[in-house]
Amino acid sequence: MARLNSKEAETILYQRPESMEARPFHFCPGCGHGIVFRLVGEVIDELKIRERAICVASIGCSVNSYEYFKCDGLESAHGRAPAVATAIKRCHPDLVPFTYQGDGDLAAIGTAEIVHACARGENITTIFVNNAIYGMTGGQMAPTTLLDMYSTSTTAGRKSALAGYPIRVCEMLSTLEGTAYIARVTVNSPAAVRKAKQAIKLAFRTQLANLGMSLVEVLSPCPTNWRVEPVKAMDWLAEHMLPQYPLGEYKVIEAVAALKKEVGNA
Amino acid sequence: MHEEITIGGFGGQGVLFIGRLLTEAAFREEREVVYMPAYGAEKRGGTVWCNVTISDERIGALFIARPTIAVAMNSASLNRFKQTTKADGLLIVNKSLVPETVSRGDISTVYIPANDLATEVGNSDIGNLVVLGALLARRPVVSLDSIHQIMKDSLGEKQQLLQMNQKALEKGYRWTKKEYTG
Amino acid sequence: MSEKTLMAGNIAIAEGAILAHCQAYFGYPITPQNELLEHMSKRMPEEGRVFVQTESELAAINMVYGAAASGCRAMTTTSSPGFSLQQEGLSYMAGAEIPAVVVNVMRGGPGLGDIGGAQGDYFQAVKGGGHGDYHLITLAPSSVQEMMDFAMLAFELADKYRNPVILLPDGFLGQAIEPVVMRPPVTKLPEKPWAITGARGRPKNIINSFAMDPVDYQPHVALLRQKFQRIKQNEVRYEGINLDDAALVMVAYGSAFRSAMTAMQMARQAGLKVGIFRPITLFPFPVAPLSNLSQKVKSFLVVELSLGQLIEDVRLSLSAEAKVELVNQFGGVPISADEILEAIEKIMK
């Protein structure tokens, strides 16, 4: 993208974050991932950590997350991103590894890895995108799929007798003493997006201040696999996901609360 | 010189300890040596054993099928060793705990009341060192001095324990020299 | 001068790794390699290096992936059931060309098996083990000294080829105590410009084993193939003993080799001309040396602690007219020199 010089443009209202590549997202129309990636990019810019950030990608729709950032990155096996990030941080305390994981990756196959990264209080950051469905494999039940919700592997709706109950990740992980900051946000409205960015920024700042494990769960729409139109998906999220997954901060240790009060945490 | 030594007894009898002493002594005397413990879920009271092979040449097998020297600290070990001990080998039996004897003409035997002799030096638990003394009295695979030196090095500050161990070792050595001369 | 000391096999691996400047160790307790993990839990922090006891072998191998991808020499150690869990990570590392060292102190299997020593994971180590087309350099130590030396060699080869290297002793070797000559520590490590260390003053580095389109992935696998060819050409290692006049050659590695050594000595005393061929690299397998040997020796006896895995590679290497027999133990039971001697006598008399 050609840069406008100052004469041509007096005010730039919107541009791609500097830490992001000039490449289109591969996501379906109306998907929330693009918004979340952008928020992470903005935060990396604002905290000036592109040269230290390591994008630890997972498996699912976020499989090639590292393609979108101008920082180093790697692909981890399904669910193992927190273990990979743990090692990177332990070996290089100056780096800023973050995992970007979906619900199948984090809350099903990678449950042990995220729980133990939290239990150890690893000084890493996890962005957890919960869209209540397996996107990449074509819409099967996720660990966070709602009761009675349709998926290609619960065509009559998820029934607890057969398929158990959706997992509330923030609630579960916030009981672990190694976690410093845990919040659930969403991206289904401009206001919600602004709050999501604040949470993501605070999560990274938690890591930069060496305060322990930080995780932000982002409730995100998947119109394709929910089989609703993109705009309606935003409403569907509010109507169905929010009651099951209430927004808010689930863990803010004192030191993080102090960070939050510091000037400049927009 | 090539000796294959197997020591068996109850866990807690110090079987592995005297195996390690022999190994360390052979090492200090610059011989080839392999120590191979039975390992795993042994608990106090179960039968344990260890192998020590001492040689002047590169050692092959980690395991000893037919020991040239066998030490039976309990009956279970004797049951095994009375068959496996190699012809012309030496079999040492702790008479304090093992009432059985062996009827084999092709091996030498020593029946030593190890725990009783250990009691005489003040600690019935260190029959293992009495037995080690007996072994060295009949087959000087390493020198008694090496064993003394290792105990000194490892028990340096625990003077009382060191003296007790030294006495037990000497007791077994002298008793055997006296009872089994020639 | 190099110092000589008595050491257990498992500890020798740990100290070898430290001498090779292993910067990060990750492991999960499993018998019969627990002493190794325990030793590292003390030694790594002493050296100012990374130690993490993980929640599973799966986490351990993925931490190794992360540490090694970020340029550190990294290792995990385990035993058979744990090694199964690590196949996923090994496939990813082989695919992404990440150098790392994985030690499998083999025990009896299949399943939970037992804690005796065994060689039943031979196929798993040398044929890939995980999904996809790849090979792992596999080193088979047969003494405590080699536990140390090959741990060091493993790091060197891993970096040389950017490929995981497996150290494959059996549980018996892990427990054995023998004299070891201490080696000088490695002080110079290779540069790793590909590592993810932060995109500072250079284009970003990406580590993966993935392409959206098979057309893009195939060339990568073709490059891996070339690398495996180079490894086969350059890294074959083996030891031959008494091969000059041998009428029968035993093929064995690990603790089975040690028993075979004693059996050979016994056989020679009885006037039987027996030699030993010991593969040191199980991958790359010493195909050509064995093939050449079978031009003059026609009788082979494979000695191994499995139902017969090594024997398949031996058969593939030999000339068609060579006869190959097997004498083995399995399920965690060691093989005695007597059993082997009996097999030798049966063949030669």
Residue of C50, C62, C88 lying closest to A91 (CB–CB): C50
pLDDT of residue A135: 94
Partners of A44 on chain C (C-beta within 8 Å) are none
pTM, two decimals, is 0.95
Binned at pLDDT 50, 70 and 90, residue B103 comes out as very high
Q: Which of residues 10-49 of B touch C (CB under 8 A)?
A: 20, 23-24, 27, 32-37, 39-41
A148 CA: distance to closest CA in chain C (Å):
33
Given a cut of 50, whether residue B92 has pLDDT beyond it is yes
Alpha-carbon gap, residue C196 to A53, rounded angstroms: 10
Residue with tokens 């090979």: C135
**Bridge partners (DSSP) listed for residue C78:** C104
Q: What is the pLDDT of residues C115-174, one digit of tens each?
A: 999 999 999 999 989 999 999 999 999 999 999 999 999 999 999 999 999 999 999 999
Q: Which of C188, C206, C234 is the last residue of a domain?
A: C234
Residue with tokens 């990264």: A117
Q: Which of C172, C199, C234 is the last residue of a domain?
A: C234
Binned at pLDDT 50, 70 and 90, residue A130 comes out as very high
Could you tell me if C15 and C34 lie in one domain? yes
Among B57, B63, B154, the residue to mutate for chain C (most C Cβ within 10 A)? B63
Among A55, A56, A90, the residue to mutate for chain C (most C Cβ within 10 A)? A90
Q: What is the pLDDT of residues A115-128, one digit of tens each?
A: 999 999 999 999 99
State the chains in contact with C (3 or more Cβ–Cβ pairs under 8 Å). Answer: A, B
CB contact under 8 A, C59 and A80: yes
Quote the tokens at residue C119: 């060689």
- In a domain, residue A191? The reply is yes
State the chains in contact with B (3 or more Cβ–Cβ pairs under 8 Å). Answer: C
Q: What residue ranges do the domains of chain B occupy?
A: 2-179
Could you tell me if C304 and C319 lie in one domain? yes
Q: What is the pLDDT of residues A199-239, one digit of tens each?
A: 999 999 999 999 999 999 999 999 999 999 999 999 999 99
Given a cut of 90, whether residue A2 has pLDDT beyond it is no
Q: What is the pLDDT of residues C80-117, one digit of tens each?
A: 999 999 999 999 999 999 999 999 999 999 999 999 99
CB pairs under 8 A between A and C: 133
What CATH number is associated with residue C302? Answer: 3.40.50.920
- Do C and B make contact via 3 or more CB pairs under 8 A? The reply is yes
CA proximity to A88, closest of A77, A98, A103, A101 = A98
Given a cut of 60, whether residue A264 has pLDDT beyond it is no
Q: Which of C234, C269, C304 is the last residue of a domain?
A: C234
CB contact under 8 A, C52 and A90: yes
pLDDT of residue C58: 98
Binned at pLDDT 50, 70 and 90, residue B11 comes out as confident
What CATH number is associated with residue A131? Answer: 3.40.50.970
Range of the domain at C255: 239-348
Across all residues in chain A, what is the average pLDDT?
95
Given a cut of 70, whether residue B45 has pLDDT beyond it is no
Among C173, C177, C241, C253, the residue to mutate for chain B (most B Cβ within 10 A)? C177
Class of domain B2-179: alpha beta
Edge-to-edge order in the sheet of strand C248-251? C238-241, C274-279, C248-251, C299-304, C323-328
- In a domain, residue A240? The reply is yes
Could you tell me if C245 and C311 lie in one domain? yes
- In a domain, residue A19? The reply is no
Q: What is the pLDDT of residues A34-77, one digit of tens each?
A: 999 999 999 999 999 999 999 999 999 999 999 999 999 999 99
Alpha-carbon gap, residue B53 to B55, rounded angstroms: 7
Given a cut of 60, whether residue B43 has pLDDT beyond it is no
Q: Which of residues 56-75 of B touch C (CB under 8 A)?
A: 58-63, 65-66
E-only strand ranges, chain C:
4-8, 24-27, 50-53, 74-78, 100-104, 137-139, 164-167, 177-181, 206-207, 238-241, 248-251, 274-279, 281-283, 299-304, 323-328
Complete DSSP assignment for C227-252:
HHHHHHHH---EEEES-TT-SEEEE-
Could you tell me if C157 and C225 lie in one domain? yes
Residue of C176, C265, C338 lying closest to B35 (CB–CB): C176
CB contact under 8 A, B60 and C177: no
CA proximity to B6, closest of B66, B58, B60, B55 = B66
C114 CA: distance to closest CA in chain A (Å):
26
Could you tell me if C193 and C249 lie in one domain? no
Given a cut of 60, whether residue B42 has pLDDT beyond it is no
Binned at pLDDT 50, 70 and 90, residue A263 comes out as low
Question: For chain B, what is the HEC assignment?
Answer: CEEEEEEEEECCCCHHHHHHHHHHHHHHCCCEEEEEECCCCCCCCCEEEEEEEEECCCCCCCCCCCCCEEEECCHHHHHHHHHHCCCCCEEEEECCCCCCCCCCCCCEEEEECHHHHHHHHCCHHHHHHHHHHHHHHHCCCCCHHHHHHHHHHHHCCCHHHHHHHHHHHHHHHHHHHHHCCC
Determine contact, residues C320/C295, Cβ cutoff 8 Å.
no
pLDDT of residue B157: 83
CB contact under 8 A, C23 and A53: no
Question: Could you give the number of structural domains in chain A?
Answer: 1
Could you tell me if C108 and C121 lie in one domain? yes
Give helix C144-161 / helix C9-19 axis angle, nearest 10°.
40
pLDDT of residue B46: 78
Given a cut of 90, whether residue B55 has pLDDT beyond it is yes
Partners of B66 on chain C (C-beta within 8 Å) are 338
* Low-confidence residues in chain C, pLDDT < 70: 1-2
Q: Which of A1-15, A86-100, A121-135, B139-153 has the lowest mean pLDDT?
A: A1-15
Question: Could you give the number of structural domains in chain C?
Answer: 2
C179 CA: distance to closest CA in chain B (Å):
7
pLDDT of residue B40: 52
pLDDT of residue C293: 97
Could you tell me if C184 and C69 lie in one domain? yes
CB contact under 8 A, C175 and B23: no
| Among chain A residues, CA nearest to C88 | A77
Binned at pLDDT 50, 70 and 90, residue A266 comes out as very low
Binned at pLDDT 50, 70 and 90, residue A6 comes out as low
Binned at pLDDT 50, 70 and 90, residue A3 comes out as low
Q: Does C54 touch chain A (CB under 8 A)?
A: yes
Range of the domain at A225: 33-258
Residues A76-93: what's their mean pLDDT? 98
- In a domain, residue A3? The reply is no
Could you tell me if C222 and C289 lie in one domain? no
DSSP classification of residue A245 = S
**What are the residue ranges of helices labelled H in chain A?**
33-47, 81-91, 103-104, 111-120, 160-163, 169-173, 190-208, 223-226, 230-236, 242-244, 254-261
Could you tell me if C288 and C302 lie in one domain? yes
Could you tell me if C214 and C249 lie in one domain? no
Partners of B41 on chain C (C-beta within 8 Å) are 115
Could you tell me if C207 and C300 lie in one domain? no
Determine contact, residues A72/C197, Cβ cutoff 8 Å.
yes
